[in-house]
A and B are shown apart, each in its own frame.
Chain A
Amino acid sequence: MKVLVPVKRVIDYNVKVRVKPDQSGVDLANVKMSMNPFDEIATEEAVRLKEKGVVTEIVVVSIGPQQAQETIRTALAMGADRGILITVDSIVEPLAVAKLLKAVIAEEQPQLVLMGKQAIDDDNNATGQMLAALLGWPQATFASKIEVAGESLHVTREVDGGLQTLSADLPAVVTVDLRLNEPRYASLPNIMKAKKKPIDIKSAADYGVDVAPRLKSIKVSEPPKRAGGIKVETVADLVAKLKTEAGVL
């Protein structure tokens, strides 16, 4: 079975984000970039399925600037087989990403798409669901457990108030949540090996997809700051303040 794993290059999750003074966006100059953490989990799951003999080939796709090649290399070092980079210079929204991925899927014919539930930059949580819709495939979002049995999947999902298990016939789109696995660190030999793995470089125009954004960014502003409070010395102080000052007890 062939698996497609879309990966996104985003600001590293440890970096403190700063809004530009002119409110045109956030400052990404000289900031550490990494693979979206949820996409790492998706890559890890694909590699584990390959190690179990369920998956035969893992194709990684990234849509973004030239530097997104580094993100693809990270996935290749984790164990993916080859990469496709679709270069775009401007912001691409989840709807356009889903359309590009659909075009890639028409060529690659994977049985399964494994992807992160959300990118930690735009926080949309939309691409996987949109892709499943455009393909007319079943979707299983927010997966915490994935089992492949022949031509079907069992996916346990994180839902409001607990877990839900779905079954779906392949092909299908699965988006992954935090608890699915803990991604590995690539070893040095694997990082070296990854440098020799192939990456195809394409452009959005190669797929005939219109990537013009539907949402116009009017401004990006700082959220209102929460004024810091006080330190209390004892638990008795704390409870007294909650009762009289805050009035919440």
Chain B
Amino acid sequence: MAVLVIADHDNSTVRDTTNKTITAALAVSPEVDVLVLGEGAASAADAAAKIAGVRKVLLAQSPELGRLLAEAVADVVVPLMEGYDALLTPATAAGKNVSPRIAALLDVMQISDVIEVVDANTFVRPIYAGNALETVQSSDTKKVITVRPTTFKAAPEGGSATVETIAAKPAAAHQAKFVSDEVVKSDRPELSAAKIVVSGGRALGSAEEFHKVMDPLADKLGAAVGASRAAVDAGYAPNDYQVGQTGKVVAPALYIAIGISGAIQHLAGMKDSKTIVAINKDPDAPIFQVADYGLVADYKTAVPELMAELEKV
């Protein structure tokens, strides 16, 4: 039984999330094909072909696929699934958007946000913001799965699969159309792939203060910037900074939480980080219960001190 992985890529190369999803796929079946959808994505397909364990790469291109519109993606993937027993997609915003549409068209109940593959029919997934882990067994003949990338190791390079081009379907009449993108260009690493993440919370008080405090610290550490839901809700940080149950799930080597109290829903997004540092002036803040190193201090004095100390490292 062969399985298909939808790649997450930026046209020139595949993102780490793809390698991690391939690891999950290899736990389901040794026959793993990768589907690269996009426009001008041939280099990404070549990169996917070099990942160890990949049998074949399929490349489909069209303007709609370049925007990852769910309707267009489903039109390509649903007929392909005749030849596969499972579909695995990284649980990114794009993956979460397209995967359930495909599942419904196949009359399959999706298994969302899988963190462990027990066997080809049995999977572990977090529920209730990660406060419980449910092991589920699927009775569907085909499986449609989204994979939480942070819990799987990245499949290394070392493959030499072939790339096969397949046709995209012409756009259907009644589907959403792309209007515009507003992508924040940043030299910082991507939040979900960064080795170090510095996150700010509501204590920062304003959008201006958030950026004044967090940006230089992130740049000093080569880190990505995250935020709590409270900071996003208050408008201090954009939504794609959000770490938590309803935002991104991260597991960097070092996570520094600044002025974050540690609500259940925030912990759900960062508690698998290797080392957690919390700086908060409230000694009773729940964030200290998960922090390896807690510093009870006002960020206003602690962050400048931290910048100065890092200068010496």
Which A residues contact B (CB, under 8 angstroms)?
11, 13, 16-17, 19, 26, 38, 93-95, 98, 117-118, 120-134, 136-142, 144, 154-155, 158-169, 172, 177-179, 213-223, 226, 228-236, 238-239, 241-243, 246, 248-249
Contacts and interface: CB of A to CB of B under 8 A. Distances in A.
B240 interface: yes
B245 to A, nearest CB: 7
A121 B288 contact: no
Given A17-B128, A166-B178, A178-B239, A159 B246 contact: no
Given A123-B127, A162-B183, A95 B295 contact: no
Given A219-B135, A221-B133, A133 B74 contact: yes
Nearest to A93: B109
A95 B104 contact: yes
- What secondary structure prevails in chain B residues at the interface with A? mixed
Residue among B122, B264, B277 facing the most chain A CB atoms (10 A cut-off): B277
Nearest to B186: A161
Contacts of B27: none
Nearest to B105: A133
A144 B242 CA distance: 14
Nearest to A139: B70
A134 B239 contact: no
A140 B67 CA distance: 13
Contacts of A138: 71, 174-176
A28 to B, nearest CB: 10
Interface stretch (B44-52, B159-167, B211-219, B305-313): B305-313
Interface string B242-281: 1001100000011000000000110000010011110000
Contacts of B97: 129, 139, 141-142, 159
Interface string B274-298: 1111000000000011111111110
B295 A220 contact: no
Nearest to B15: A160
Given A120-B245, A133-B100, 7 more contacts: A125-B113, A134-B104, A158-B239, A226-B271, A231-B295, A235-B306, A236-B309
A142 to B, nearest CB: 6
Nearest to A95: B109
Given A231-B295, A232-B293, A164 B67 contact: yes
Residue among A98, A133, A137, A179 facing the most chain B CB atoms (10 A cut-off): A133
Residue among A98, A179, A229 facing the most chain B CB atoms (10 A cut-off): A229
26 contacts: A16-B131, A17-B128, A95-B103, A125-B113, A129-B97, A133-B103, A139-B97, A160-B93, A162-B238, A164-B181, A166-B69, A166-B178, A167-B179, A177-B239, A179-B232, A214-B108, A214-B109, A214-B139, A218-B122, A220-B127, A220-B132, A228-B288, A229-B291, A231-B288, A235-B306, A235-B309
- What secondary structure prevails in chain A residues at the interface with B? mixed
B140 interface: yes
Contacts of B294: 229-232
Contact of A239 (B181, B239, B271, B309): B309
B302 interface: yes
B306 A129 contact: no
B94 interface: yes
A16 B264 contact: yes
Given A94-B109, A231-B294, A217 B134 contact: yes
A223 B130 contact: yes
Nearest to B124: A221
Q: List the 7 closest pairs (A to B, CB-CB), nearest first.
A: A229-B292, A130-B104, A129-B100, A126-B100, A214-B109, A133-B104, A235-B305
B176 A129 contact: no
Contact of A238 (B180, B233, B240, B306): B306
Given A132-B101, A138-B71, A215-B137, A169 B174 contact: yes
Given A216-B136, A229-B293, A17 B177 contact: no
Contacts of B302: 235
B138 interface: yes
Contacts of B174: 136-138, 169
B65 interface: no
Interface string B149-173: 0000000000000000000000000
Nearest to B304: A235
B110 interface: yes
Given A214-B108, A222-B133, A123 B313 contact: no
